[in-house]
Chain A
Amino acid sequence: MTVFKSVAAGALALALLAGQAAATEDFIVVQSTTSTQNSGLLDEILPEFEAASGIDVRVVAVGTGQALKNAANGDGDVLLVHAKPAEEKFVADGFGVQRFDVMYNDFVIVGPQDDPAGIRGLGDAPAALAKISQSAAPFASRGDDSGTHKKEQALWNLARVDPAASSGNWYRETGSGMGAILNTASAMNAYTMTDRATWLAFNNKGNLEILTEGDDRLFNQYGVILVNPDKHANVKADLGQTFIDWLTGADGQKAIAGFKVNGEQLFFPNAVSQTN
């Protein structure tokens, strides 16, 4: 019986210990997207900033839609996402202070090697999508209001195709993150659109390969925004701004350029140069 009691007491003591807060240090919460995390970029560059500044960066990686919503709720100090129109609206609505360009890469359309829609080598993304819809070959969509999803919808618009009309048929909205949709597309031999960084770092490509790339309209710009401290008093404006200054400054831009997977650079820094 005593064993029983001592174990119960031990569990209670453990629980009380766990309740104590972890070391109090300077940290900021960054609401970001799955592509920056799934590609490994943030794991690579953040330690450099943390060592230089002593500020711990806590990244919450969700779709751009959810990141914007969380940041509007004040649940984060900095927003690092890739949906320029939505970001500009975020600032215009007063939720963010100012938007800065950080880096870019591009989207690519990937699909099965046998390419039933015949889009291989097309340099025109809307034309490629139109061909996919004509052939009714399966296309897996993020369907989660993320930056990639917004871009995909804009391209369908340009192609004058309403894929939602075929939702559940050849157009499959899965409502999942970038990596998850690549798993899905790989499993169902579907076409999908992905940012190049996640694609290059992705390790379950299966039968998929890049079929359409190089269209200017596939450009993928990332921006960074400080959440407005006037809206939410808890926002750590100073620490957040320090991070933004680093990211858009010489050191951060160099770190971004230096991030490579299998020898390929995944993100291209393009912040407007600042005095650092």
Chain B
Amino acid sequence: MQDFAQSFVLAGQLVVSGDPALAEIVALSIQVTLTALVISALIGLPLGALLAVARFPGSATLSVLANALMGLPPVVVGLLVYMMLSNAGPLGVLGLLYTPTAMIIAQAVLITPIIIALTRQVIADLNRSYAETFKSMVVPAHTAIAALIWDARFSLLTVLLAGFGRAIAEVGAVMIVGGNINHVTRVMTTAIALETSKGELALALALGFVLLLMALSVNAAVALLRQTDRSAVHV
């Protein structure tokens, strides 16, 4: 297939030329997914840690639920959010359908269970070696949770990256609630789907390479951050 070689060349040209249309789509993709990730982290990290440390009525059920919801299909999330935000739905008055905000909501719904479930596991593992100390020093629960999250931060970064990867790569949810509107809600994945349906396979794959490059950059940045942070601790 000559399409592969052509796509590589095309991807290179797209990146080097700094095509403004592509830059806009890339920027929106990152903005939407990072915002969704921050929201999911604010909810998922504390809740996951709480589930790992505390036992309360329904905590076991919540854990199982979070684990199960990791397999939530994006298109179902999209449909649910669409039905909530549609003008015929309960939240229609907000006028959020076909906006980036709607896409942020959908992606946050999609990845929050992932953050909760993985955080719970990471913190539970760490807590096994900390629990005795906390008990003997009579540390209050919220202080213990904060300490656990901080000490597990490197593992939790990987948790966040898993959420980021899931959100930036999905197309089913943002297509339905965003509508793939040019200059408004078009992101990398919906643009790839559009070019594929135009039969522009080489361009679609080139956009795929650019998306991969974005994910690589984010992961490389995190790896760098990790290293800087580790060496700062050792000084």
Does A pair with B?
yes
Q: Which residues of A contact B (CB under 8 A)?
A: 1-4, 7, 11-12, 14-15, 18-19, 22, 29, 34, 37-38, 43, 58-61, 70, 72-75, 177-180, 182-183, 201-205, 232, 234
Residues of A within 8 A of B39 (CB): 15
Residues of B within 8 A of A15 (CB): 34-35, 38-39
Given contacts A4-B229, A29-B98, A60-B181, whether A74 and B199 have CB atoms under 8 Å apart is: no
Given contacts A3-B228, A202-B198, A232-B87, whether A18 and B180 have CB atoms under 8 Å apart is: no
Residues of A within 8 A of B225 (CB): 3-4, 7
* Pair B153/A59 contact, Cβ less than 8 Å: no
* Pair A178/B179 contact, Cβ less than 8 Å: no
Instruction: Mark contacts of B177-204 with chain A using CB atoms, 8 A cut-off: 1 yes-contact digit, 0 otherwise.
Output: 0011110100000000010111111000
Residues of A within 8 A of B200 (CB): 203-204
* Pair A74/B86 contact, Cβ less than 8 Å: yes
**For the complex, is B73 an interface residue (Cβ under 8 Å from A)?**
no
**For the complex, is B100 an interface residue (Cβ under 8 Å from A)?**
yes
Residues of B within 8 A of A7 (CB): 225
Given contacts A18-B100, A59-B181, whether A12 and B199 have CB atoms under 8 Å apart is: no
Of B35, B100, B233, the contact of A1 (CB 8 Å cutoff): B233
The CA-CA distance from A124 to B86 in the complex, in Å, is 43
CB closest residue in chain B, given A37: B194
* Pair A14/B88 contact, Cβ less than 8 Å: no
The CA-CA distance from A3 to B89 in the complex, in Å, is 44
Residues of A within 8 A of B35 (CB): 14-15, 18-19
The CA-CA distance from A6 to B104 in the complex, in Å, is 23
The CA-CA distance from A61 to B35 in the complex, in Å, is 26
* Pair B88/A38 contact, Cβ less than 8 Å: no
The CA-CA distance from A204 to B182 in the complex, in Å, is 23
**For the complex, is B13 an interface residue (Cβ under 8 Å from A)?**
no
* Pair B92/A61 contact, Cβ less than 8 Å: no
Given contacts A38-B197, A183-B197, A201-B198, whether A43 and B92 have CB atoms under 8 Å apart is: no
The CA-CA distance from A224 to B80 in the complex, in Å, is 28
The CA-CA distance from A34 to B196 in the complex, in Å, is 12
* Pair B181/A58 contact, Cβ less than 8 Å: yes
* Pair A179/B98 contact, Cβ less than 8 Å: no
The CA-CA distance from A12 to B153 in the complex, in Å, is 17
Q: Determine which residue in A14, A29, A179, A182 has the highest number of CB atoms from chain B within 10 A of its CB, and name it.
A: A179
Instruction: Mark contacts of B193-227 with chain A using CB atoms, 8 A cut-off: 1 yes-contact digit, 0 otherwise.
Output: 01011111100000000000000000000000100
Residues of B within 8 A of A177 (CB): 197
**For the complex, is B158 an interface residue (Cβ under 8 Å from A)?**
no
* Pair B87/A74 contact, Cβ less than 8 Å: yes
Interface residues of B in 18-67 (CB under 8 A from A): 31-32, 34-35, 37-39
The CA-CA distance from A2 to B229 in the complex, in Å, is 8
Of A1, A18, A183, A202, the contact of B31 (CB 8 Å cutoff): A18
| 13 interchain pairs, CB-CB under 8 A | A3-B229, A4-B153, A7-B225, A15-B35, A15-B39, A18-B35, A22-B100, A29-B181, A60-B179, A74-B86, A203-B200, A234-B92, A234-B95
**For the complex, is B97 an interface residue (Cβ under 8 Å from A)?**
yes
Residues of A within 8 A of B87 (CB): 73-75, 232, 234
The CA-CA distance from A70 to B79 in the complex, in Å, is 12
* Pair A11/B98 contact, Cβ less than 8 Å: no
